Protein backbone atom coordinates (compact mmCIF):
# COMPACT_ATOMS: atom_id res chain seq x y z
CA UNK A 1 0.00 0.00 0.00
CA UNK A 2 1.00 3.63 -0.45
CA UNK A 3 0.62 5.41 2.89
CA UNK A 4 0.73 9.19 3.33
CA UNK A 5 2.23 9.81 6.78
CA UNK A 6 1.34 13.35 7.84
CA UNK A 7 3.75 14.45 10.55
CA UNK A 8 6.18 11.69 9.63
CA UNK A 9 9.22 13.78 10.55
CA UNK A 10 8.14 13.80 14.19
CA UNK A 11 8.71 11.33 16.99
CA UNK A 12 5.87 8.84 16.61
CA UNK A 13 5.39 9.53 12.89
CA UNK A 14 8.99 8.69 12.00
CA UNK A 15 8.79 5.39 13.89
CA UNK A 16 5.55 4.52 12.11
CA UNK A 17 7.16 5.33 8.74
CA UNK A 18 10.03 2.99 9.66
CA UNK A 19 7.71 0.13 10.61
CA UNK A 20 5.52 0.62 7.51
CA UNK A 21 8.56 0.49 5.24
CA UNK A 22 9.85 -2.60 7.03
CA UNK A 23 6.49 -4.26 6.26
CA UNK A 24 6.77 -3.47 2.56
CA UNK A 25 4.54 -0.40 2.29
CA UNK A 26 5.45 2.64 0.21
CA UNK A 27 5.69 5.74 2.41
CA UNK A 28 5.34 9.42 1.62
CA UNK A 29 5.96 11.83 4.50
CA UNK A 30 4.14 15.16 4.60
CA UNK A 31 5.46 17.58 7.24
CA UNK A 32 5.99 21.32 7.74
CA UNK A 33 9.12 20.61 9.84
CA UNK A 34 7.99 23.03 12.54
CA UNK A 35 8.68 20.44 15.22
CA UNK A 36 9.82 17.45 13.15
CA UNK A 37 13.32 16.73 11.88
CA UNK A 38 14.33 16.41 8.25
CA UNK A 39 16.98 13.83 9.18
CA UNK A 40 14.29 11.60 10.73
CA UNK A 41 12.71 11.09 7.29
CA UNK A 42 14.64 8.03 6.16
CA UNK A 43 11.86 5.99 4.57
CA UNK A 44 10.17 7.41 1.51
CA UNK A 45 10.11 10.92 0.12
CA UNK A 46 9.43 14.11 2.08
CA UNK A 47 6.88 16.68 0.96
CA UNK A 48 7.03 19.95 2.87
CA UNK A 49 3.44 21.09 3.40
CA UNK A 50 1.28 22.60 6.11
CA UNK A 51 -2.22 21.49 7.14
CA UNK A 52 -3.12 25.14 7.73
CA UNK A 53 -2.24 25.91 4.10
CA UNK A 54 -4.69 23.65 2.26
CA UNK A 55 -3.23 24.36 -1.17
CA UNK A 56 0.08 22.77 -0.12
CA UNK A 57 -1.61 19.45 0.66
CA UNK A 58 -2.26 18.66 -3.00
CA UNK A 59 1.35 17.57 -3.47
CA UNK A 60 0.75 14.67 -1.09
CA UNK A 61 -1.87 13.24 -3.44
CA UNK A 62 0.08 13.48 -6.68
CA UNK A 63 -0.01 9.69 -6.87
CA UNK A 64 -2.74 7.34 -5.62
CA UNK A 65 -2.87 7.10 -1.80
CA UNK A 66 -4.38 4.03 -0.12
CA UNK A 67 -4.52 5.42 3.42
CA UNK A 68 -3.44 8.41 5.48
CA UNK A 69 -1.87 8.43 8.94
CA UNK A 70 -2.30 11.72 10.78
CA UNK A 71 0.26 12.81 13.39
CA UNK A 72 0.23 16.57 12.76
CA UNK A 73 -0.70 18.21 16.04
CA UNK A 74 0.51 20.56 18.69
CA UNK A 75 0.72 18.43 21.80
CA UNK A 76 2.01 20.32 24.84
CA UNK A 77 -0.60 20.23 27.59
CA UNK A 78 0.59 23.32 29.46
CA UNK A 79 1.04 25.31 26.27
CA UNK A 80 -2.47 24.39 25.17
CA UNK A 81 -3.89 25.91 28.36
CA UNK A 82 -2.18 29.21 27.60
CA UNK A 83 -2.70 29.18 23.82
CA UNK A 84 -6.07 27.51 23.19
CA UNK A 85 -6.80 29.32 19.90
CA UNK A 86 -3.57 28.01 18.39
CA UNK A 87 -4.40 24.46 19.49
CA UNK A 88 -7.92 24.43 18.09
CA UNK A 89 -6.67 26.02 14.89
CA UNK A 90 -3.80 23.59 14.34
CA UNK A 91 -5.38 20.40 15.65
CA UNK A 92 -9.01 20.81 14.55
CA UNK A 93 -8.92 23.13 11.54
CA UNK A 94 -5.77 21.44 10.26
CA UNK A 95 -7.45 18.05 10.53
CA UNK A 96 -10.50 19.30 8.65
CA UNK A 97 -8.26 20.58 5.86
CA UNK A 98 -6.62 17.17 5.61
CA UNK A 99 -9.96 15.36 5.60
CA UNK A 100 -11.25 17.61 2.83
CA UNK A 101 -8.14 16.89 0.75
CA UNK A 102 -8.64 13.16 1.30
CA UNK A 103 -12.28 13.47 0.26
CA UNK A 104 -11.36 15.34 -2.92
CA UNK A 105 -8.93 12.60 -3.86
CA UNK A 106 -11.14 9.66 -2.93
CA UNK A 107 -9.00 8.43 -0.01
CA UNK A 108 -11.28 6.62 2.41
CA UNK A 109 -9.01 5.34 5.19
CA UNK A 110 -7.39 7.26 8.03
CA UNK A 111 -5.45 6.31 11.16
CA UNK A 112 -5.58 9.20 13.62
CA UNK A 113 -3.10 9.86 16.41
CA UNK A 114 -5.30 10.59 19.42
CA UNK A 115 -4.49 10.71 23.12
CA UNK A 116 -5.47 9.62 26.61
CA UNK A 117 -5.99 13.32 27.31
CA UNK A 118 -9.52 12.97 25.87
CA UNK A 119 -10.57 11.33 29.16
CA UNK A 120 -9.60 14.05 31.63
CA UNK A 121 -9.51 13.08 35.30
CA UNK A 122 -9.95 9.28 35.60
CA UNK A 123 -12.87 7.99 37.62
CA UNK A 124 -11.68 4.37 37.49
CA UNK A 125 -8.38 2.52 37.74
CA UNK A 126 -7.57 1.32 34.24
CA UNK A 127 -9.22 3.45 31.59
CA UNK A 128 -11.34 1.72 28.96
CA UNK A 129 -12.64 3.19 25.74
CA UNK A 130 -16.10 3.85 27.21
CA UNK A 131 -14.70 5.89 30.12
CA UNK A 132 -16.40 9.34 30.23
CA UNK A 133 -14.72 11.93 28.03
CA UNK A 134 -14.13 15.17 29.91
CA UNK A 135 -10.78 16.64 28.83
CA UNK A 136 -9.28 19.15 31.22
CA UNK A 137 -7.06 20.95 28.71
CA UNK A 138 -7.44 22.28 25.15
CA UNK A 139 -5.03 19.67 23.78
CA UNK A 140 -7.30 16.81 24.87
CA UNK A 141 -10.42 18.71 23.84
CA UNK A 142 -9.04 19.33 20.35
CA UNK A 143 -8.28 15.65 19.86
CA UNK A 144 -11.74 14.66 21.07
CA UNK A 145 -13.28 17.09 18.58
CA UNK A 146 -11.44 15.38 15.74
CA UNK A 147 -12.66 11.98 16.94
CA UNK A 148 -16.21 13.35 16.72
CA UNK A 149 -15.56 14.69 13.21
CA UNK A 150 -14.35 11.24 12.15
CA UNK A 151 -17.53 9.63 13.47
CA UNK A 152 -19.61 12.11 11.48
CA UNK A 153 -17.46 11.55 8.38
CA UNK A 154 -18.06 7.81 8.62
CA UNK A 155 -21.80 8.41 8.35
CA UNK A 156 -21.66 11.14 5.73
CA UNK A 157 -18.82 9.98 3.48
CA UNK A 158 -18.18 6.32 4.41
CA UNK A 159 -14.74 7.26 5.73
CA UNK A 160 -13.11 4.37 7.55
CA UNK A 161 -10.98 5.51 10.49
CA UNK A 162 -9.14 4.23 13.53
CA UNK A 163 -8.30 6.63 16.37
CA UNK A 164 -5.47 5.37 18.57
CA UNK A 165 -5.44 6.92 22.01
CA UNK A 166 -1.86 6.81 23.22
CA UNK A 167 -1.06 6.94 26.85
CA UNK A 168 2.63 7.94 27.25
CA UNK A 169 4.75 7.20 24.19
CA UNK A 170 8.37 6.50 25.09
CA UNK A 171 11.47 4.65 23.94
CA UNK A 172 13.27 4.68 20.61
CA UNK A 173 14.34 2.62 17.61
CA UNK A 174 18.03 3.27 18.19
CA UNK A 175 18.93 0.61 15.62
CA UNK A 176 17.18 2.73 12.98
CA UNK A 177 18.76 5.98 14.18
CA UNK A 178 15.53 7.61 15.34
CA UNK A 179 14.31 8.65 18.77
CA UNK A 180 12.56 11.34 20.75
CA UNK A 181 13.76 14.91 20.31
CA UNK A 182 11.48 17.87 20.98
CA UNK A 183 12.34 21.54 21.43
CA UNK A 184 11.45 22.33 24.10
CA UNK A 185 11.43 18.83 25.54
CA UNK A 186 8.55 18.34 27.99
CA UNK A 187 8.30 14.55 28.22
CA UNK A 188 9.65 12.92 31.34
CA UNK A 189 11.87 10.09 30.08
CA UNK A 190 13.94 12.12 27.58
CA UNK A 191 14.35 14.87 30.16
CA UNK A 192 15.49 12.33 32.74
CA UNK A 193 18.06 10.94 30.30
CA UNK A 194 19.22 14.40 29.24
CA UNK A 195 19.75 15.15 32.92
CA UNK A 196 21.81 11.95 33.25
CA UNK A 197 23.97 13.16 30.35
CA UNK A 198 24.31 16.60 31.91
CA UNK A 199 22.60 18.46 29.06
CA UNK A 200 19.58 20.68 28.93
CA UNK A 201 17.78 22.43 31.73
CA UNK A 202 17.83 21.01 35.28
CA UNK A 203 15.24 18.26 35.74
CA UNK A 204 12.01 19.33 37.40
CA UNK A 205 9.37 17.08 38.93
CA UNK A 206 6.04 18.89 38.68
CA UNK A 207 4.08 18.26 41.86
CA UNK A 208 4.79 16.16 44.93
CA UNK A 209 1.33 16.34 46.51
CA UNK A 210 -0.79 14.23 44.17
CA UNK A 211 -3.01 11.53 45.73
CA UNK A 212 -0.53 8.77 44.74
CA UNK A 213 1.76 6.60 46.90
CA UNK A 214 4.79 8.90 46.52
CA UNK A 215 2.95 12.12 45.67
CA UNK A 216 4.05 12.24 42.01
CA UNK A 217 2.03 11.61 38.86
CA UNK A 218 1.55 8.06 37.62
CA UNK A 219 1.68 7.30 33.90
CA UNK A 220 1.42 4.27 31.63
CA UNK A 221 4.40 4.15 29.25
CA UNK A 222 4.08 2.41 25.89
CA UNK A 223 7.02 1.87 23.56
CA UNK A 224 6.91 3.90 20.38
CA UNK A 225 7.56 0.79 18.26
CA UNK A 226 4.55 -0.89 19.87
CA UNK A 227 2.52 2.16 18.89
CA UNK A 228 3.88 1.85 15.35
CA UNK A 229 2.83 -1.79 15.23
CA UNK A 230 -0.71 -0.76 16.20
CA UNK A 231 -0.84 1.70 13.31
CA UNK A 232 0.19 -0.98 10.85
CA UNK A 233 -2.39 -3.38 12.28
CA UNK A 234 -5.05 -0.67 11.96
CA UNK A 235 -4.63 -0.86 8.17
CA UNK A 236 -5.59 -4.53 8.27
CA UNK A 237 -8.47 -3.77 10.63
CA UNK A 238 -9.96 -1.24 8.22
CA UNK A 239 -9.94 -3.84 5.44
CA UNK A 240 -12.70 -5.66 7.30
CA UNK A 241 -14.42 -2.95 9.37
CA UNK A 242 -16.38 0.10 8.25
CA UNK A 243 -17.02 3.16 10.41
CA UNK A 244 -14.99 5.08 13.01
CA UNK A 245 -13.24 3.06 15.71
CA UNK A 246 -11.26 4.00 18.80
CA UNK A 247 -8.65 2.03 20.72
CA UNK A 248 -6.63 2.78 23.86
CA UNK A 249 -2.92 1.94 23.67
CA UNK A 250 -0.91 1.37 26.84
CA UNK A 251 0.83 -1.38 28.75
CA UNK A 252 -1.69 -1.39 31.58
CA UNK A 253 0.86 -0.62 34.31
CA UNK A 254 1.43 2.75 35.93
CA UNK A 255 4.74 4.14 37.17
CA UNK A 256 5.24 7.31 39.16
CA UNK A 257 7.69 10.03 38.20
CA UNK A 258 10.00 9.03 41.06
CA UNK A 259 9.86 5.35 40.05
CA UNK A 260 10.76 6.33 36.50
CA UNK A 261 13.74 8.38 37.66
CA UNK A 262 14.97 5.48 39.81
CA UNK A 263 14.66 3.03 36.90
CA UNK A 264 16.70 5.40 34.74
CA UNK A 265 19.36 5.59 37.47
CA UNK A 266 19.55 1.80 37.55
CA UNK A 267 19.96 1.60 33.76
CA UNK A 268 22.44 4.43 33.30
CA UNK A 269 24.39 4.00 36.50
CA UNK A 270 24.46 7.78 36.77
CA UNK A 271 23.23 10.38 39.22
CA UNK A 272 20.04 12.08 38.07
CA UNK A 273 19.50 15.20 40.16
CA UNK A 274 16.09 16.85 40.17
CA UNK A 275 14.06 19.46 41.99
CA UNK A 276 10.37 19.58 42.78
CA UNK A 277 8.28 22.30 41.13
CA UNK A 278 4.60 23.27 41.36
CA UNK A 279 2.03 21.19 39.52
CA UNK A 280 1.38 21.99 35.86
CA UNK A 281 -2.10 23.03 34.83
CA UNK A 282 -4.03 20.22 33.16
CA UNK A 283 -2.06 17.26 34.54
CA UNK A 284 -4.22 14.45 36.01
CA UNK A 285 -2.76 12.47 38.89
CA UNK A 286 -2.93 9.06 37.20
CA UNK A 287 -3.45 7.73 33.67
CA UNK A 288 -3.29 3.99 33.08
CA UNK A 289 -4.78 2.20 30.10
CA UNK A 290 -6.93 -0.86 29.68
CA UNK A 291 -5.93 -2.02 26.19
CA UNK A 292 -8.02 -5.19 25.98
CA UNK A 293 -9.97 -3.86 23.00
CA UNK A 294 -6.80 -3.24 20.99
CA UNK A 295 -5.44 -6.64 21.90
CA UNK A 296 -8.58 -8.40 20.68
CA UNK A 297 -9.70 -6.08 17.87
CA UNK A 298 -6.34 -5.21 16.33
CA UNK A 299 -4.55 -8.38 17.46
CA UNK A 300 -2.04 -6.02 19.06
CA UNK A 301 0.38 -7.19 21.72
CA UNK A 302 3.15 -4.95 23.09
CA UNK A 303 6.65 -6.35 22.65
CA UNK A 304 8.18 -3.93 25.18
CA UNK A 305 6.03 -4.33 28.26
CA UNK A 306 8.53 -3.37 30.98
CA UNK A 307 9.61 0.12 31.94
CA UNK A 308 13.29 -0.85 32.03
CA UNK A 309 13.10 -2.08 28.41
CA UNK A 310 11.51 1.17 27.30
CA UNK A 311 14.02 3.39 29.10
CA UNK A 312 16.98 1.27 27.95
CA UNK A 313 16.00 1.73 24.30
CA UNK A 314 15.68 5.50 24.81
CA UNK A 315 19.05 5.57 26.56
CA UNK A 316 20.71 3.80 23.61
CA UNK A 317 19.40 6.52 21.29
CA UNK A 318 20.17 9.48 23.52
CA UNK A 319 23.79 8.43 23.94
CA UNK A 320 24.25 8.45 20.17
CA UNK A 321 21.74 11.17 19.28
CA UNK A 322 22.48 13.12 16.11
CA UNK A 323 19.60 15.59 16.53
For residue 94, cis peptide bond before it (omega within 30 degrees of 0): no
Assess whether 146 and 7 both reside in one domain.
yes
Shared domain for 285 and 271, answered yes or no, is yes
Q: What is the predicted pLDDT for the residue at 322?
A: 55
- Reported as a single tens digit per residue, the pLDDT across 10-31 is 999 999 999 999 999 999 999 9
- Both 262 and 128 in one domain: the answer is no
Q: Which of 230, 249, 268 is the last residue of a domain?
A: 249
Q: How confident is the model at residue 187 (pLDDT cuts 50, 70, 90)?
A: confident
The enclosing domain of 185 has a CATH number of: 3.90.25.10
pLDDT band of residue 256 (cuts 50, 70, 90) is very high
Same domain, 96 and 125: yes
On average, the pLDDT of the chain sits at 94
Q: How far apart, in Å, do the first and last CA atoms of the chain sit? A: 30
Structural contact between residues 97 and 51, judged by C-beta atoms closer than 8 angstroms: yes
pLDDT in tens, 272-281: 999 999 998 7
Which residues are identified as catalytic? Answer: 139
Question: Would the pLDDT of 98 be above 70?
Answer: yes
Nearest to 240 by CA among 72, 88, 109: 109
Percent over 90 (pLDDT), the chain: 87
pLDDT score recorded for residue 323: 59
Are 25 and 97 in a shared domain? Answer: yes
Whether 68 and 143 map to the same domain: the answer is: yes
Range list of β-strands (E), 158-279 = 160-166, 168-170, 204-206, 218-219, 221-223, 244-249, 255-256, 275-277
Domain stops at, among 249, 268, 297? 249
116 and 159: one domain? yes
How many folded domains does the chain comprise? Answer: 2
- Of 45-59, 66-80, 289-303, the range with the lowest mean pLDDT is 66-80
Residues 126 and 33 in one domain: yes
Q: Which of 199, 231, 249 delimits the end of a domain?
A: 249
75, pLDDT greater than 90: no
Which residues in 106-131 are b (16+ Cβ under 10 Å) and which e?
ebbbbbbbbbbbbbbebeeebbebeb
pLDDT at 305 over 70: yes
What are the C-alpha distances in Å from 164 to residues 35, 169, 234, 257, 318? 21, 12, 9, 24, 26
In the structure, what pLDDT confidence band is assigned to residue 282 with cuts at 50, 70 and 90?
Answer: low
Are residues 259 and 283 both part of a single domain? yes
133-136: long-range pairs with CB below 8 Å, 24+? 136/282, 136/284
Distance from CA of residue 96 to its chain's centroid?
Answer: 19
The verdict on 80 and 203 lying in the same domain is no
User: Which secondary-structure segment (H or E) carries 68?
Assistant: strand 67-70
Residues of the domain holding 214: 174-219+252-319
pLDDT > 80? residue 60: yes
pLDDT at 41 over 80: yes
What does DSSP assign to residue 178? B
Using CA atoms, how far apart are residues 263 and 47, in angstroms rounded to an integer? 39
Q: Is the dihedral of CA 192, 195, 199, 201 positive or negative?
A: positive
What pLDDT, on the 0 to 100 scale, is given for residue 199? 87
pLDDT at 69: 98
Residues 144 and 211 reside in one and the same domain: no
With a cut of 60, say whether residue 227 has pLDDT above it. Answer: yes
Assess contact for 60 and 37: CB atoms under 8 A: no
Domain with 40 in it: what CATH number?
A: 3.40.50.720
Whether residues 200 and 53 share a domain: the answer is no
Give this prediction's pTM: 0.94
Residue 115 near residue 147, CB atoms below 8 Å? no
pLDDT band at 212 (very low <50, low <70, confident <90, very high): very high
Amino acid sequence: MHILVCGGAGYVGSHVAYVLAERGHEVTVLDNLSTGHRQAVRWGRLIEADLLKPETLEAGFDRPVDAVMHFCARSLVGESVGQPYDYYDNNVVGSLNLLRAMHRHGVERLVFSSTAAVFGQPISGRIRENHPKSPINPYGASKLMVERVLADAARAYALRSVSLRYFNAAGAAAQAGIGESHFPETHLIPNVLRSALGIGAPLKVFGDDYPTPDGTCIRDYVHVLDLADAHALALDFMDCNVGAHRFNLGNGDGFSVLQTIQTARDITGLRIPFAFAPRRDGDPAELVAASDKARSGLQWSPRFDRLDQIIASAWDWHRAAAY
